[in-house]
Amino acid sequence: MRLRGGDQISVVEDDRTFNVLGAAADESVIYFEKEEMTAMEAMSAMGGLNDARADPKGILILREYDGDDLAPGNAGPDMQQVVFTIDLTSADGLFAARQFLINPQDTLLATESPVASARTILGLFGTVVGAGATVSAISN
């Protein structure tokens, strides 16, 4: 299609967004950078995963369908709220992330690694022991 004299062009801002939560590098609302975004592109747009906290086996995509979209069987989703899981530690998961399309209003949740939780507990335990040793030293 060619433009001709008198043609009008309208530029409309894309206001479609998705949310990012959990052990992501940044928790925020992210605007779509292009017409379609895959899960891999969405993770890149959010700045990746927090290396110290994230579990690459537990990337969750929370999606809510309209009631009109529900259909039993293969015709469509049979539940209004659906959670999709991506495991980035396998080749299948990596390829799936490159093909899975993010919808507007989806929530991408990077789950916490069990190792990160253990570190937090050990850190709290170390703080309590350290404070106890300080109080003991002060009272002597």
pLDDT at 122 > cutoff 60: no
Q: How confident is the model at residue 19, as a pLDDT?
A: 95
Mean pLDDT of 14-21: 93
The pTM of the full predicted model, rounded to 2 decimals, is: 0.71
Q: Span 17-113: which CATH code?
A: 3.10.560.10
Q: What is the pLDDT of residues 45-68, one digit of tens each?
A: 999 988 888 899 999 999 999 988
Mean of the per-residue pLDDT values for the chain? 84
Token code pair at residue 76:
């469509």
Q: What is the pLDDT of residues 22-43, one digit of tens each?
A: 888 888 999 998 999 999 999 9
Q: How far is CA 78 from CA 34, 62, 64, 68, 84, in A?
A: 29, 15, 11, 11, 14
